[in-house]
Structure 1
Amino acid sequence: MTTDHDVELVLDFLNTLDLDRGTDVLDDPLAWRAWLAHRALTSGPPTHVRAVRAGLRAAVGGPPAPPPPPVGVRVELVAGIPRLAADDVTGAVLAAASRLAVLDEWERFKVCPADDCRWVFFDRSRNRSRTWCSMRVCGNREKARAWRERAKASL
């Protein structure tokens, strides 16, 4: 597994909840099964999956959530190389998150501060200073709002 694969898995999992659209992939059994099948993963108990997602979103700057229940992850030797392995989606996501934390990449996960967005993104900037999920959408909207407020105040 590569770092990019881990990043994409964690991002995709955290963004199964889309606050902007008011949708949750976990609420649609067909969409959830398709999400899992696309990644060759199996589901765990829905309450467990939601708890892990809420805990990880809280860990990257989302709303506070209680710590999720323990998840089974094991170490296997594959072709003489140790690797983290899991039986379901929550284990796979937490294994990916653990690999990224070991590589000091975990802090690059951020939640867009736009109240109508709250999308989780991965900050690939050199100095880790990116603020918005997208400068074209959320960043532009916020800068335009701030400019209007400054222009209004100067009248």
Structure 2
Amino acid sequence: MHTDASLVVEFLNTVNVEEGTDLLEDAGQWREWAAAHALTANPVAEARAARDALRAAIGDPRLPPGSDGTVSVGTRISLTADGPALVADDVVGAVFAACARLVVRGDWIRLKICPADTCLWAFYDESRNRSRTWCSMRVCGNREKARGWRARAAAG
């Protein structure tokens, strides 16, 4: 997976619906997560608002899209040896810079939310035709297909 996609997916998955955990509920863990990514942690409320807006934008059914769709972040354009680069020092800025690069490359549509109600894990669809539905066919996809089969068998 591309590094931009990895950063975005890891940020989106700081909430784990299946386990009922949210890394942003512990400021210490949040700072450790940011430090592990060589970034500065944003205030928790700001990070949560950004994460929820991004999750809603890629289809998390628990979250309605933002009222105006605007999230302010701090980024800058820096001239590097490879040319101009969109960069940021804090997590939210870096994640949104990564999202912007994904949009420019046409890869934004590859960010998805698993439709399994007990999962809702964010993932990057690396399939050739961008048709992947489940975060994992072995776990969520298999559960849903088995559930559908049992329902059809009971009805028939």
Q: TM-score, normalised by structure 1?
A: 0.93
1:39 aligns with 2:41: no
The answer for the alignment partner of 2:129 in structure 1 is 127
| Structure 1: gaps (5+ residues) | none
Kindly, what percent of the aligned residue pairs are identical? 56
Letter in 2 for 1:120: A
Q: 1:79 aligns with which of 71, 78, 81?
A: 81
| 1:74-111: CA deviation from partner (whole Å, max 9, x where unpaired) | 10101261001113100000000000000000000110
Is the Cα–Cα contact under 8 Å of residues 112 and 120 in structure 1 kept in the other structure?
Answer: yes
Letter in 2 for 1:77: L
Query: Which consecutive aligned stretches of 4+ in structure 1 deviate over 4 angstroms post-superposition?
Result: none
Aligned length: 152
| Structure 2: gaps (5+ residues) | none
Is the Cα–Cα contact under 8 Å of residues 74 and 85 in structure 1 kept in the other structure?
Answer: yes
Letter in 1 for 2:118: D
Is the Cα–Cα contact under 8 Å of residues 48 and 69 in structure 1 kept in the other structure?
Answer: no
Q: CA RMSD in A?
A: 1.3
Letter in 2 for 1:76: S
